[in-house]
Amino acid sequence: MTNPLLTPSALPYSVPDWAAIKPEHILPAAREAMDDQRAQWKGIATNPEPATVENTVVAFDKSNDVINRALAPAFTLFSSIGGPELEEIQATLGPELSEHTNAFWLDRRMFERFNSIDLGDADEETRYFVEDTLKKFRLKGIDLPEDEQTKLKEIDSELSRLEILFSQRATKAMDDNALIVESREELAGLSDEQIEGYKQEDGRFRLPLLNFTNQPLQMELTNPATRRALLDASLSRGLGDHDSSDTRQLVVDIAKLRAERAALLGQPHHAQVVAMKGMAADSQNIIDLLTSVARRAVHAVDRERSELMTLVDDDEQGNDLQAGDWTFYQEKLRGQVAVDDAALKPYLALSNVVEKGIFYAAEKLFGITFAPRPDIRGYVDTVQTWEVFDESGEAIGLFQADFYARKGKSGGAWMHSLVDQSRRAGTKPVIMNNANFEEPPAGQELLLTWDQVETVFHEFGHALHGLLSDTYYVSTSGTAVPRDFVELPSQLNEMWAYHPEVLAQYAVHHETGERLPGDLAAKLSASKTFGQGFATTEFVASALLDQAWHQIGAHEVPDPTSIEEFEEKALKDLGVYHELVPPRYRTAYFKHTFGGGYDAGYYSYMWAEVLVADIEQWFASEGAQKGDGGLNHEAGETLRRELLSRGSSRDPMESFTAVRGRQPRAEALLERRGL
């Protein structure tokens, strides 16, 4: 039978034919695609002709076409659907893919061909692609002797297996650690609809967990015992209460293997290996940035605690303040000095945030428009699809969104590409955003919190990076940039959520059609820096925890029962420990780092935010026209031409300076956060 993961899709934009794709197609397709790619690699490596751009660089880029077609839908199903069958397939495939990619990066013949290409007449994108590829060869161990390369392959294969298992267990931990509540009285503060939604068949109530530490329900629960119990349930994930989601041994094994891998590569620790791949270049630069911000943030937490205590003292239910109470009282204070979610939510319908928020800002900045394509289906019925048009009317790609949570789906929110843009391949992008919002009853609008609104804008910033890509190679397309640069477009796009003109479009009462009152809009704008001591400390604690685990040697990794002690000591030593502010992610459920992808790289959100803060200031100054805050086509076109369209076609700092006109100022980050 024809495998739909290997056959070019006949659907518009080559979007996957989800109705035809079954789990049993994945492993055969992936293995055939790997065989096909290795055959192409062998042809390149053994070509008797001298290496040229066409017979080496272009040929290598072409070798990705079949395997991308097979794997993009597969990994979409792994993350967005999940479940035991897909998890087993992913666990099998991961080590095989690791071995496959190492076959390229540890092939001396391939390295020598890239290294011998005459780049004299090459264009900027090709030149940077070749230089970046040679750098990756060296960082991946091409210069190691054969026996050490063999060891490296073994480590990479085992790491792939362990990281997949960690991610699966961390997802399972959200289910295992859901808080069970006996009575409705314990859920005071929640609406009747919410309470009924959490009710089980046995009459008890089950409060689900989201992937980060502090849970949104803590802001609503008026019973302090319940909100504290909810935080405790969240914090204890992966620490052995449930065998099915115990991640402690996995953490230790992963940390040791990464340390051993770094030693093989001649580096002091894994954090240095990662830093060398990005803009940071050196891990000490990362520590310097994070600790300098941490000092300011922890001091701000103490100031914020004093403000919260005025509310705690007036509370009839007790005058102590525990970690589980912080966001509850912070939300009450927000209602006094800024604007709280209870007042905002009626004005924040998801459909408006999307179609009159992110789409409106994108049209004003880049001239692109979005038309619904209900005929193009997703892997579940709730996936929505829009066709994207340039200002000339030319169709440039598809945007799809899967906003709702489901059992088995990975936590959090993310963007990924189903089809990459490439002039060489003649492909237009198909870009997806995923989130984990609670699906509303049929026929009802989903009303968002402000944090969720920012999430929609954030992930759409990544989507724009993919949709507006204009590169020749697939390998340099869209978000294929250094990890500490990739968060720039996403964080930058958050600024438009606050822009008065954009806000006036999407912040409309879901029942009356009334626009968000002026006083609330003004408070919202003023609230950008509200609670930033807490928010920054929460983030930096996780980023420094990530660094701590990856700046040690294999012999320094603690045993599984000492993970919590290691965590507390690291946070205290790095000056970011605060008893009322747990890290946004603790070690045992920190999927960014132990699930792979952001290992020793969680700092990149803050590194990129330095660049974001500086470009935000550019929009408000040089990019602005007649007081519009930069919401105009000229400013948007500059950002699109010099940064969003470039992918990895040149050094990312060149793209930044092409917009800003100079190097970034680290102080801009502190100014952005009000610190």
Looking at the DSSP assignment, which residues form a beta bridge with residue 460? Answer: none
Structure token digits, residue 11: 């659907």
Three-class SS state of 440:
coil
CB of 345 closer than 8 Å to CB of 504? no
Q: Kindly give, in sequence order, each residue whose CB lies less than 8 Å from that of residue 300, ignoring residues fewer than 6 positions away.
A: 532, 533, 534, 536, 537, 675
Looking at the DSSP assignment, which residues form a beta bridge with residue 295? Answer: none
In this structure, what are the phi and psi dihedrals at residue 83, rounded to the nearest 5 degrees? 105, 160
Structure token digits, residue 412: 């959090």
Report the b/e string of 640-667 with b at 16+ CB within 10 A.
bebbbbbbbbbbbeebbeebbeeebeee
* DSSP-derived secondary structure for 314-360: T-TT-S---GGGHHHHHHHHHHHHS--HHHHGGG-BHHHIIIIIIHH
CA distance 657 to 399: 29
Is residue 396 within a helix (H) or strand (E), and if so which, with residue range?
A: strand 395-404
Q: Is-catalytic flag, 459?
A: yes
Q: Kindly report the three-state secondary structure assignment for every residue of 106-150.
A: CCHHHHHHHHCCCCCCCCHHHHHHHHHHHHHHHHCCCCCCHHHHH
CA distance 508 to 516: 6
CA distance 344 to 32: 52
Structure token digits, residue 427: 């492909």
The pairing of beta strand 430-437 with beta strand 395-404: parallel
Q: According to DSSP H, which parts of 338-486 are helical? A: 341-344, 350-352, 359-366, 450-467
Q: Which of 87, 260, 331, 459 is catalytic?
A: 459
**Among residues 53, 14, 13, 59, which one has the least CA distance to residue 40?**
59
Is residue 181 within a helix (H) or strand (E), and if so which, with residue range?
A: strand 179-181
CA distance 582 to 546: 14
Give the residue numbers marked as catalytic: 459
